[in-house]
A and B are shown apart, each in its own frame.
Chain A
Amino acid sequence: MKNKHPADSSRGPSLQQPEPSRRSRWFGPQQVDNEGYQPPRTGALLLQGLVAIFFFVFVSRFWYLQMHKGEEFSRQAQANRLREERIFAPRGRILDDSGKVLADNRTACGLALIREDCHDIPATLAQISQWTGIPLEQVWEKYQVDRFKVKSFEPLLMVTDMDFELVARIEAELIDWPGLEISVHSKRSYPEKDLFAHVLGYVAEANEKEMEKDPDLAMGDLVGKQGLEYKLEQRLRGRKGLYGVEVDAHGRMLGKTLREEPRSGEEICLSLDRDLQETAWNALSGEAGCVVVMEPDTGKLRALVTSPAYDNNLFAAGISKRDWDALRTSNRFPLQNRVIQSVYPPGSVWKLLMGVFFLENGISRYETVFCPGQVKLGNQIFRCWRRGGHGSMNLESALINSCDVYFYIMAERLGIDKLEAFAKASGFGSPTGIDLPHERSGLVPSREWKRRRFKAPWVRGETYNVSIGQGYTLVTPVQMAVYVSALLNGGYLLKPQLLNDAPREVRGRIPGRLETLRFIVESMRKTAGGGTARVVGRKDADMGGKTGTAQVVKLKMSGDRRLRTAEMEYAQRDHAWIATWGYKNGKAYVVIVMVEHGGGGSSVAGPVAKKVYEHLFGPDAGAPQVIAASDGEGDVSQPPVLTPPDLPGLLKPVPGGRQQNTRGRREARVSGATLAPRPTAPAPILPDLPARRGAPRGRVIDPSAPPSPLTGQP
């Protein structure tokens, strides 16, 4: 606009005035303000004011948001982007006492669908159906139900468990199916299947109720539902780890930081012996029944077999409705753990309790009762199992011969009230406290109970029935194992332990003197030597037993002949019991066998027990020769068998009654534990040891003791 050329300057200042252009002439007069234009004052104030307001309002708002509420928003931002993700902690394995795996974790391969990556979902689902053989409708149904549970970029598990052959095949073709992936997860497996099904129980996915109760559980977590898996849930489960996961607004994972290592669950070692368990299982040969093998000194269980059983892998994999219905409706009740959940009349095995009861309530072991084969009470006849009768019976011969009449008479003399109190104090009628769920109490009937249950008074005949373990009396096999163990260990009612490291736990005590217990043990020894339990007797071990044949219904007679087992309906056949103990090389076991509707105790349950002892002590070396049944009061010429101090009941009773003992005792009521091999020799005295807890098993050897006739060792 300005011409700075010196030649132009001559043209004067008029040039500084721009000439109106042609265009400006067209667009009306140019009304140019002069230099004196003054912007409006109010307008200027308005603009400045607006800027000032803008500055102060916005700065104060930023102050409010970032300084005043900054921390709160920071927290919200953190919550926005950081989620927590639990890391799976492997469940502890369960082993038997020698380390054989009973419950394991295995990796299972499933097939998962990531919806976001899948281009053609119908075709993919059809392919899944074709691979796995699952009907297409079922695949669709699963997809429709589960698709809302996971986000579109998260794997949706379509097939949970595939065998490796199928996995290999699918993996080869997977490249053609975007959005499908093989997902690997952990599953519980039970290699021994039926053999340990009831002991181990099973795991399954946690249900809503369990998740509500336990905040550590999340959807899809496995949780113990039955057996030890249920009882030891807290120990087996371990602790999950924690990932801090950074996610974006869609929940997509961007990064993970390990916050807490997962801690795998505890490995649990059972006291059960897998091989012994298998032997007992095979010995039952499919019969409905159970076998308990218990160490009387520690309370540890060595075998706990119940038959029939089920395959607990079915549950761990998610049982199908068909399988479940089959198990549930089976008339053989495979879901029932007969050792603890079934109650049976104990039959003659109950007499082991009655014997202690009589002796502790003032009945002399020498008092006799004449057994004519039956007793009449009013117009009711109570029979002895032997139709001809046993003749004159004292307590020992009544026990050995299992004479019912003796027990009728004596029990009636003492009455049901005393009997009830004694049985309850001896551990019957209440659970043993075993670490398995749903243990039943059994039943010791009483006047009170009958009034409540039947609204009827007690009648004398019912005392007769109770005295021989019939009538209303109901026990679980494990209660019987605890009781027989207590007979051997000085009366201590131990909690049956399933874990190898479990300490000895005393839950009660039989209210009886040690002398009394020894007397009963001695009678069992004789019963095994030549009485009804001779089937378990063996030459190379100290054995004892008592059989029982528990009637399910009233005696069935055919004319005046009792029906044979095979002639009766299955559900009406007698239950076969045998309660035994065995002692060899410092190891003692109590073996209880119960065969449901098996028939006679000695003929059906006995052989099962025998096979168990063969496993425990080796094959039988010959006929029993430990103690002859005719020994009566005990042969003074025979040196005693040395026993661990926890098994004073195994020692032979002092002949001729009580004898003052010389050592201190744990309880005044228990009479002396002295050995009296012969009256002239000073009694070798066992050291007085307190009840051992988890101490290594072993014999206490007294140097002054003569060699054992059984082992040839001192």
Chain B
Amino acid sequence: MDKRLLSHLNWSLLACTVLLFFLGVGNLFSASAIRVEDGLTFSSFYQKQLIWGLCGLGCMIVAMCFDYRQIRNLAWPFWLVCVGLLLLVPVIGVTTMGANRWISLGFMNLQPSEPTKLAVLVLTARILAQHNRSLGWKDFFKVLLVGLIPCALILEQPDLGTGTLVLLIMGGMILFHGLRSYVLKTCLLAVPCVAALMWFVVMHDYQRQRILTFLDPGSDPRGAGYHILQSLIAIGSGQMWGKGFTEGTAGKLRFLPERHSDFAVAVFGEEWGFVGCVALVTLFSLFLLSIFSTAMQAKDRFGSLLVVGVFFYFFSQIVINMGMVIGLMPVVGIPLPFISYGGSATVVNFTLLGIVLNVSMRRFMFKG
């Protein structure tokens, strides 16, 4: 690879990413530990996460190697394949725990909603890039359709988390690109109507229950509110300096649910306290700002929009997950990038960062 390309690389983003990743692995080491009578036993989550991280690194390098503009050509076919797979899910899907999200490939289960997030991201970027002015009604609906079709299919599975994520990525990109003021105003008015529609038509009972529980977690401390309450207890008991690495009790004694995936940051908060949490929030902010700077520096609109899509991809997940853990958001099963355990999520995260780095590397391509 060209050395000059490397010199343009967004090194601060890479540094933030590596830092976050190893923070995540360290936290997983502690989070996967369970206290038994004679000490701690560790599950191998952190080792697996390291391996997945290596895979992700490979994917990231691959994603950096080619000119990102080539992705534009894949946008439509990728999207179509994803929608096709989503349509297949209700027909040949595997139902687990009341949700039909997977297609069995024999050796592994494929979750079509995962690549759909990327497909929507790329296609939205491609379509928006064709317009260099704010969107009017017609164009707005065209873009909206790209997101709403797969989103509806995902919500049907049901998978509120991924569906919301798809909408947020698309919405964020549209807002970044800009809407005509009358379109924007109308949309803002429409938000309450859509929310009501979601509540009464789209949402399932358990999803409504989650939101109600979110609003009042104390109402059912042993049932639905248990997760939130235990999470708050874990984080709150960390106080100023935290209990120290692997010294936390909420996770070790199994009071905290999903401690290595969705609630991993609660383990972090308990062991590192307020100081650690502020550091983590700061690190995430720097991470997001690094992505943002790339979006500003990109040489073309498509690259910029691509990076903005990635920005919203990470931003939404961070806000939803951490918001849930600290009781600002309802319980939605969305992992925290780099901190929560998850193989495919890690690979996707690194790949997307590869694309961001790709854009940052090639921002001066046309300069002599």
Residues of B within 8 A of A234 (CB): none
Residues of A within 8 A of B176 (CB): 40, 43, 46-47
B237 and A57 form a contact (CB under 8 A): no
Tell yes or no: A80 within 8 A of B by CB. yes
B295 and A254 form a contact (CB under 8 A): no
Residues of B within 8 A of A1 (CB): 2, 5, 67
Tell yes or no: B4 within 8 A of A by CB. yes
B239 and A51 form a contact (CB under 8 A): no
A66 and B274 form a contact (CB under 8 A): yes
Residues of B within 8 A of A370 (CB): none
B253 and A66 form a contact (CB under 8 A): no
- Please report the total number of B residues contacting A with Cβ < 8 Å: 66
Tell yes or no: B235 within 8 A of A by CB. yes
Nearest A residue to B240 via CB reads A67
A355 to B175, CA, bound (A): 117
- Residue from A35, A58, A70 within 8 A of B240 (CB atoms): A70
B326 and A65 form a contact (CB under 8 A): yes
B288 and A66 form a contact (CB under 8 A): no
- Residue from B292, B328, B367 within 8 A of A51 (CB atoms): B292
**Contact of A62 with B277 at beta-carbon distance under 8 Å, contacts A33-B301, A40-B177, A51-B292 already known:** yes
- Please report the total number of A residues contacting B with Cβ < 8 Å: 56
Q: Which residues of B (252-302) have their CB < 8 Å from a CB of A? A: 252-255, 269, 273-274, 277-278, 281-282, 284-285, 288-289, 292, 295-296, 298-302
Tell yes or no: B236 within 8 A of A by CB. yes
A248 to B288, CA, bound (A): 38
B285 and A55 form a contact (CB under 8 A): yes
Q: Which residues of A (60-90) have their CB < 8 Å from a CB of B? A: 61-63, 65-67, 69-74, 76-77, 80-81
B277 and A66 form a contact (CB under 8 A): yes
Tell yes or no: B249 within 8 A of A by CB. yes
Tell yes or no: B233 within 8 A of A by CB. yes
Tell yes or no: B318 within 8 A of A by CB. yes
Tell yes or no: A662 within 8 A of B by CB. no
Residues of A within 8 A of B99 (CB): none
A73 and B300 form a contact (CB under 8 A): no
Residues of B within 8 A of A65 (CB): 232, 235-236, 269, 326-327
Residues of B within 8 A of A376 (CB): none
**Contact of A77 with B301 at beta-carbon distance under 8 Å, contacts A16-B368, A23-B73, A54-B285 already known:** no
Nearest B residue to A248 via CB reads B253
- Shortest C-beta distance, B215 to chain A (Å), equals 16
Nearest B residue to A250 via CB reads B254
A47 and B300 form a contact (CB under 8 A): no
A71 and B239 form a contact (CB under 8 A): yes
A80 to B296, CA, bound (A): 49
A248 and B254 form a contact (CB under 8 A): yes
Residues of A within 8 A of B130 (CB): 31
A706 to B326, CA, bound (A): 100
Tell yes or no: A404 within 8 A of B by CB. no
Q: Which residues of A (1-35) have their CB < 8 Å from a CB of B? A: 1-2, 13, 16, 18, 21, 23-24, 26-27, 30-35
Residues of B within 8 A of A55 (CB): 281-282, 285
Of B253, B277, B311, chain A has the most CB atoms within 10 Å of the CB of B253
Residues of B within 8 A of A184 (CB): none
Tell yes or no: B234 within 8 A of A by CB. yes
B292 and A73 form a contact (CB under 8 A): no
Tell yes or no: B125 within 8 A of A by CB. no
Tell yes or no: A59 within 8 A of B by CB. yes
- Residue from A23, A30, A42, A81 within 8 A of B255 (CB atoms): A81
Residues of A within 8 A of B292 (CB): 44, 47-48, 51
A255 to B5, CA, bound (A): 58
Contact with A along B299-337 (1 / 0, CB 8 A): 111101000100100010011001100111000000000
Tell yes or no: B35 within 8 A of A by CB. yes
A62 to B300, CA, bound (A): 39
A148 to B54, CA, bound (A): 50
**Contact of A253 with B288 at beta-carbon distance under 8 Å, contacts A33-B299, A77-B249 already known:** no
Nearest A residue to B235 via CB reads A65
Nearest B residue to A63 via CB reads B274
- Shortest C-beta distance, A180 to chain B (Å), equals 21
Contact with A along B327-368 (1 / 0, CB 8 A): 110000000000000000000000000000000000000111
Nearest A residue to B326 via CB reads A61
- Shortest C-beta distance, B276 to chain A (Å), equals 9
Tell yes or no: B72 within 8 A of A by CB. yes
Tell yes or no: A246 within 8 A of B by CB. yes
A248 to B253, CA, bound (A): 4
Residues of B within 8 A of A248 (CB): 35, 252-255
A23 to B69, CA, bound (A): 12
Tell yes or no: B36 within 8 A of A by CB. yes
Nearest A residue to B77 via CB reads A27
Contact with A along B223-254 (1 / 0, CB 8 A): 00000000011111111100000000110111
Tell yes or no: A689 within 8 A of B by CB. no
B238 and A70 form a contact (CB under 8 A): yes
Nearest A residue to B288 via CB reads A51
- Residue from A35, A42, A66 within 8 A of B239 (CB atoms): A66
Tell yes or no: B178 within 8 A of A by CB. yes
**Contact of A39 with B281 at beta-carbon distance under 8 Å, contacts A13-B368, A71-B239, A74-B236 already known:** no
B175 and A46 form a contact (CB under 8 A): yes
Tell yes or no: B37 within 8 A of A by CB. yes
A13 to B366, CA, bound (A): 11
**Contact of A2 with B2 at beta-carbon distance under 8 Å, contacts A23-B73, A46-B176, A47-B311 already known:** yes
B304 and A39 form a contact (CB under 8 A): yes
- Shortest C-beta distance, B286 to chain A (Å), equals 9
A253 to B36, CA, bound (A): 9
A77 to B367, CA, bound (A): 60
Residues of B within 8 A of A249 (CB): 253-255
Tell yes or no: A50 within 8 A of B by CB. yes
A54 and B319 form a contact (CB under 8 A): yes
A40 and B178 form a contact (CB under 8 A): yes
- Shortest C-beta distance, A22 to chain B (Å), equals 11
A77 and B233 form a contact (CB under 8 A): yes
Q: Which 5 residue pairs are nearest across A and B when measured between Cβ atoms?
A: A73-B236, A43-B176, A70-B239, A33-B300, A77-B237
Which A residues form the contact surface with B (CB < 8 A)?
Answer: 1-2, 13, 16, 18, 21, 23-24, 26-27, 30-35, 37, 39-40, 42-44, 46-48, 50-51, 54-55, 57-59, 61-63, 65-67, 69-74, 76-77, 80-81, 246-250, 253-255
16 further interface pairs, Cβ-Cβ under 8 Å (given A33-B302, A77-B250): A33-B132, A34-B366, A37-B301, A39-B295, A40-B177, A48-B292, A58-B322, A62-B278, A66-B240, A66-B269, A67-B240, A67-B274, A80-B233, A249-B253, A249-B254, A254-B37
Could you list 17 A-B pairs, sorted by A, with CB under 8 Å? A1-B5, A13-B368, A23-B70, A37-B304, A39-B295, A40-B176, A40-B178, A50-B288, A51-B285, A58-B323, A58-B328, A62-B278, A66-B236, A70-B239, A73-B236, A246-B35, A253-B37
